[in-house]
């Protein structure tokens, strides 16, 4: 059976990105199409997305918004690169004509995010009717489009266009849930009987993600370990009991990697290509990276970091361990932006220790690729990590990850065993600066004193594959289960 899939997201590469959701949205639809699915991908046309590069679709799209009346959006279309998958952009200036996707220039969430993403969730349904596209699966992602599962069971429950549609919700990061004023119930137009602790009500307001979890036919998250973790108090962010109640429909599916974009043999950003059979290019990449950051000693191991300067990513652990890290016998390069104290802290460290520590505050896709290729090891000390992609990129580039054993990091990295020489990286378990510093020192010692083990680990890591076809097949299984559950 050729499945029709409505795939609604708040961001997707290469158009807009704040995190891993965008990578999934840019890659998974392409893999699903190769397996025979017919897809329509829908996202906002943020004003950072140049509409001159998109195809304009004449005629407005009407979206009913309760007390706000019917709002009219413009439509644009593009084709996801190398895929044949159509992606549609909902254009509404009052909601999406802003500098940020979810937050303003000071990092505060927009006060009308409830309306912005209720609008997106509803607009996707109206677009399906406009295109005469009857979806077998409505696949929503995170809190932004979680209301679609609720809408399917309420506002559109008796709409013949969606009578056969099953819903799948993927949680990419449970920390962000979409908690809003209860008045958004009227905007959703779903009936106040659904404002209760088992569906949408949370702390007197509406929780978009909670409602989606309650109403979806199938629930997924982005690694096996994270599927278990979100049912615990430590990682459940207040929804652990709610998730436990719906765990019968929960499955963890590890994200894949687009190896057309992330492969050291074909990477357009790096100074020299290489692969597991010929590593000379990696040495050239290390020299290039040291030169870019003004570091000198090529014999010292080089440890890279690429990511948000945010608590989730373990930034406070790095800061707390900094004194020991600076004297562990390694050089460090960091790329990222985020919390202002962290940006200032790492700039100060770089100014005081320019011979061993360097930072670029901001984001550069080119520099991210260069750090993956030129580093010997990659640091990811996340407090929690639903899946993580950089550690998987690092494996492919022969850059051994140093990670905290949580979520997808634990699922993808095999800890080094000195007795057997086995492993693909270095893990620590306690979320402390001391554990981080000890593990980095351990990794540096292996690089320096057990180089044969290190090189064998590098070889083993580069031969691993976490491709999207494998993940897409598991999503197909989830789709089929959701359809059976819906139609039984």
Task: Report pLDDT for 404.
Answer: 98
Q: Does residue 104 share a domain with residue 239? A: yes
Q: Does residue 427 share a domain with residue 338? A: yes
When pLDDT is cut at 50, 70 and 90, the band that residue 155 belongs to is very high
- Does a structural domain hold residue 211? yes
Question: What is the per-residue pLDDT across 334-379, written as a single tens digit (0 to 9) for each?
Answer: 999 889 999 999 999 999 999 999 999 998 889 999 999 999 999 9
**Nearest Cα to 388, choosing from 373, 372, 410, 369?**
410
Q: Does residue 95 share a domain with residue 182? A: yes
When pLDDT is cut at 50, 70 and 90, the band that residue 1 belongs to is low
Task: Report pLDDT for 258.
Answer: 85
Q: Give me the residue label for tokens 């119930």.
A: 185
Question: What is the per-residue pLDDT across 437-484, written as a single tens digit (0 to 9) for each?
Answer: 999 999 999 999 999 999 999 999 999 999 999 999 999 999 999 999
Q: Does residue 312 share a domain with residue 180? A: no
- Does a structural domain hold residue 269? no
State how far the Cα of 332 lies from the Cα of 322, in Å rounded to an integer. Answer: 11
- Does a structural domain hold residue 345? yes
State how far the Cα of 198 lies from the Cα of 230, in Å rounded to an integer. Answer: 18
- Does a structural domain hold residue 36? yes
Percent of the chain clearing pLDDT 70 (strictly above): 100
What do you get for the CA distance between the two ends of the chain, in Å? Answer: 17
pLDDT at residue 219 tops 80: yes
CA-to-CA separations, 188 to 74, 182, 292, in angstroms, rounded? 20, 11, 51
State how far the Cα of 34 lies from the Cα of 467, in Å rounded to an integer. Answer: 13
pLDDT at residue 402 tops 90: yes
Task: Report pLDDT for 140.
Answer: 98
When pLDDT is cut at 50, 70 and 90, the band that residue 207 belongs to is very high
Query: How many domains does the chain divide into?
Result: 2
Task: Report pLDDT for 324.
Answer: 97
pLDDT at residue 264 tops 90: yes
Q: Does residue 236 share a domain with residue 348? A: no
Q: Does residue 476 share a domain with residue 400? A: no
Q: Does residue 316 share a domain with residue 193? A: no
Mean pLDDT of 64-73: 98
State how far the Cα of 432 lies from the Cα of 77, in Å rounded to an integer. Answer: 47
Q: Does residue 183 share a domain with residue 298? A: no
22-45 core/surface letters (b: 16 or more CB in 10 A; e: else): bbbbbbbbbbbbeeebebbbbbbb
State how far the Cα of 117 lies from the Cα of 449, in Å rounded to an integer. Answer: 54
Q: Does residue 306 share a domain with residue 245? A: no
Q: Does residue 435 share a domain with residue 384? A: yes
Task: Report pLDDT for 488.
Answer: 78
Residues with Cβ < 8 Å from 234, sequence gap 6 or more? none
| Average model confidence (pLDDT) across the chain | 96
Mean pLDDT of 157-161: 94
- Does a structural domain hold residue 350? yes
pLDDT at residue 75 tops 80: yes
Our measurement of the distance from residue 254's CA atom to the centroid of its chain's CA atoms, rounded to an integer in Å, reads 11
- Does a structural domain hold residue 412? yes
Q: Does residue 320 share a domain with residue 242? A: no
pLDDT at residue 171 tops 90: yes
Q: What CATH number corresponds to the domain at position 34? A: 3.40.50.2000
DSSP 3-state of 378: strand
- Does a structural domain hold residue 28? yes
Residues spanned by the domain of 376? 280-463
- Does a structural domain hold residue 23? yes
Q: Does residue 317 share a domain with residue 180? A: no
Mean pLDDT of 302-307: 96
Q: Give me the residue label for tokens 């492993």.
A: 423
Question: What is the per-residue pLDDT across 21-65, written as a single tens digit (0 to 9) for each?
Answer: 998 999 999 999 999 999 999 999 999 999 999 999 999 999 999
């Amino acid at each position: 059976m050729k499945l029709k899939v409505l795939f609604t997201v708040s961001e997707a590469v290469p158009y807009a990105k704040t995190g891993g959701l965008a990578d999934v949205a840019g890659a998974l639809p392409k893999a699903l199409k190769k397996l025979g699915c017919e897809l329509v991908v829908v996202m906002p046309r943020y004003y950072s997305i140049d509409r001159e590069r998109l195809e304009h679709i004449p005629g407005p799209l009407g979206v009913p918004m309760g007390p706000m009346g019917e709002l009219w959006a413009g439509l644009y279309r593009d084709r996801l690169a190398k895929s044949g998958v159509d992606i549609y952009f909902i254009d509404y200036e009052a909601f999406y004509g802003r500098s940020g996707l979810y937050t303003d220039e000071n990092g505060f969430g927009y006060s009308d995010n409830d309306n912005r993403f209720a609008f997106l969730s509803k607009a996707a349904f109206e677009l399906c009717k406009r295109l005469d596209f009857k979806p077998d699966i409505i696949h929503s992602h995170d809190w932004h489009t979680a209301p679609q599962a609720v809408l399917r069971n309420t506002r559109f429950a008796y709409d013949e266009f969606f009578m056969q549609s099953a819903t799948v919700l993927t949680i990419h990061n449970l920390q962000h849930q979409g908690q809003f004023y209860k008045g958004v119930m009227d905007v959703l137009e779903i009936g106040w009987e659904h404002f209760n602790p088992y569906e949408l009500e949370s702390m007197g307001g509406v929780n978009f993600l909670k409602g989606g979890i309650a109403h979806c036919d199938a629930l997924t998250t982005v690694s096996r370990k994270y599927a278990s973790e979100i049912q615990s108090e430590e990682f459940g962010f207040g929804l652990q009991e709610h998730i436990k109640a719906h765990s019968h429909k929960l499955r963890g599916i590890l994200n894949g990697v687009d190896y057309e974009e992330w492969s050291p043999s074909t990477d357009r950003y790096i100074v020299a290509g290489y692969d597991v059979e010929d590593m000379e290019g990696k040495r050239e990449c290390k020299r290039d990276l040291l030169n870019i950051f003004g570091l000198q000693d090529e014999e010292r191991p080089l440890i890279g970091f690429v990511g948000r300067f945010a608590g989730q990513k373990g930034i406070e652990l790095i800061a707390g361990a900094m004194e020991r890290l600076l004297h562990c016998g390694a050089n460090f390069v960091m790329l990222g932006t985020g919390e202002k104290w962290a940006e200032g802290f790492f700039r100060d460290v770089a100014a005081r220790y320019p011979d061993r520590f360097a930072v670029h505050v901001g984001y550069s896709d080119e520099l991210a690729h260069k750090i993956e290729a030129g580093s010997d090891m990659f640091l990811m000390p996340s407090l929690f990590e639903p899946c993580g992609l950089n550690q998987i990129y690092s494996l492919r580039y022969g850059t051994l990850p140093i990670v905290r054993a949580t979520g997808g990091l634990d699922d993808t990295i095999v800890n080094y065993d000195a007795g057997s020489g086995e492993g693909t990286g270095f893990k620590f378990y306690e979320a402390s600066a001391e554990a981080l510093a000890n593990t980095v020192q351990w990794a540096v010692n292996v690089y320096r004193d057990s180089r044969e083990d290190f090189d064998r680990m590098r070889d083993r890591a580069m031969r691993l594959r976490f491709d999207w076809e494998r993940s897409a097949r598991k999503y197909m299984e989830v789709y089929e289960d959701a359809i059976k559950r819906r139609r039984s």
